[in-house]
Structure 1
Amino acid sequence: MATPSTGARHVIRSRFMSTTTTPSGTYIHLPTRGLLEIRGKDASKFLQGLITNHMPRIENSSSGFLAAFLNPKGRVMYDVFIHPTNAPKDDGADPAFLIECDARALPDLHKHIARFVLRNKVKMVGVTEAFDVYSVLDDPQGDSNEGTAEDSAATVHERLNAMNASIGLLDNRASNLMGYRAIVPKGQLLSLPENYRQGTLEEYHVRRIINGVPEGIDDFIAGTSLPLECNLDYMNGVDFRKGCYVGQELTIRTYHKGITRKRIMPVQYYRPDEPEPESIQFNKSDPPVIPPQSELFRAKKEEKSSEAPAASSSSPRPVRASGKTGSNIGNIGLALVKLDIVTDGNAFQVMDREGATVRAKAFFPSWWPKQPSSEETNES
Structure 2
Amino acid sequence: MNAQWQAFLESRSAIIGEDGLVRFENSGTGQTLALYDLSHLGLIRLSGEDAADFLQGQVTNDIRELTPDRCQFNGCCDPKGHLLANFWAFRRDGDIFLQLPGNMLPSLLKRLSMFVLRAKVAVTDASDDLVRIGVAGEGAEALLGSLIPEPPAGPGGVTHTRGLTLVRLPGDRPRFEIIGEAPAVEKLWEQLSSRAAPTDSACWALLDIRAGIPTVYPATAGAFIPQMINMQLIGGVSFQKGCYCGQEIVARTQHRGTLKRRMYLAHIATDRPPAAGDELFSPSAEHGKAAGVVVDARPAPEGGCDALVMVQIPCFEADDIHLGDSEAGPKLEFRDLPYALEG
The verdict on a shared fold, with TM-score over 0.5 as the criterion, is: yes
Q: Which amino acid aligns with 2:57?
A: G
Match of 2:311 in 1: 337
Q: 2: CA distance between counterparts of 1:83 and 1:335?
A: 27
| Secondary structure at 1:363 match in 2 | strand
Aligned pairs (5 A) from 1:126-165 = 126-139=125-138, 147-148=154-155, 156-157=158-159, 161=161
> Does the alignment pair 1:197 with 2:207?
no
Residue 181 of structure 1, CA deviation: 2.4
| Secondary structure in 1 matching 2:330 | strand
Match of 1:54 in 2: 62
Which residue of 1 is the match for residue 16 of structure 2?
none
Shift of 1:268: 2.7
The 1:211–1:339 alpha-carbon spacing in structure 2 relative to 1, beyond 3 Å, is farther
Q: Which has the higher helix share?
A: 2
Q: 1:350-361, aligned counterparts within 5 Å?
A: 350-351=324-325, 357-361=328-332
1:295 corresponding residue in structure 2: 279
Which deviates the most, 186-195 or 126-135?
186-195
In structure 1, the partner of 2:122 is 123
Is residue 228 from structure 1 mapped to residue 227 from structure 2 by the alignment? Answer: yes
CA-based RMSD: 3.2
What is aligned with 2:108? 109
User: How far off its partner does 1:140 sit?
Assistant: 9.1
Q: Under a length normalisation based on structure 2, what TM-score does the superposition of the two structures give?
A: 0.76
Q: Determine helix, strand or coil for the equivalent of 2:250.
A: helix
Give 1:322 shift. Answer: 0.9
Question: Could you say which residue in structure 2 is the equivalent of 1:207?
Answer: 207
Tell me the amino acid that sits aligned with residue 203 of structure 2: E
After TM superposition, the structure 1 = structure 2 runs for residues 1-380 of structure 1, keeping only pairs within 5 Å, are: 4-6=27-29, 22-23=31-32, 25-59=33-67, 61-85=68-92, 87=93, 95-139=94-138, 147-148=154-155, 156-157=158-159, 161=161, 166-172=164-170, 174=171, 177=173, 179-186=175-182, 188-189=185-186, 190=188, 194-217=194-217, 221-270=220-269, 287-288=271-272, 290-298=274-282, 319-330=288-299, 331-332=304-305, 333-351=307-325, 357-372=328-343
Would the alpha carbon gap of residues 70 and 183 (structure 1) be closer, same or farther in structure 2, given more than 3 Å must change? same
Q: CA deviation at 1:269?
A: 2.7
Residue identity (%): 20
Aligned to 2:7: none
For 1:212, the aligned partner's letter is G
Q: Secondary structure at the match of 1:228?
A: helix
Offset from partner CA, 1:329-373 (integer Å, 9 cap, x none): 333233211222222322324159xxx94223142434121441x
Alignment partners' CA distance in 1, 2:87 and 2:102: 11
Separation of aligned partners in 1, 2:88 and 2:265? 22
127-136 or 287-296: bigger deviation? 287-296
> What stretches of structure 2 of length at least 5 have no aligned partner?
1-11, 13-23, 141-151
| Residue deviations 1:175-212 (CA, integer Å, cap 9, x gap) | x6462222122352336665333222233222222343
Alignment CA distance shift 1:232-1:177 (3 Å): farther
Distance 1:250 1:146 in 2: 36
Ranges in structure 1 where 5+ consecutive residues have no aligned partner: 9-21, 88-94, 271-285, 301-316, 373-380
Return the offset for 1:37.
Answer: 1.2
Bigger Cα Rg: 1
Whether contact under 8 Å (1:265, 1:335) holds in the other structure is yes
Query: What TM-score do you get using the length of structure 1 for normalisation?
Result: 0.69
Q: Is the 8 A contact 1:218 1:326 kept in 2?
A: no
* Matched residue type, 2:66: I
Q: Counterpart amino acid of 1:365?
A: D
* Alpha-carbon distance in 1 for matches of 2:335, 2:254: 20
Cα contact 2:28–2:34 (8 A) shared by 1? no
Q: 1:254 to 1:364 in 2, by over 3 A?
A: farther
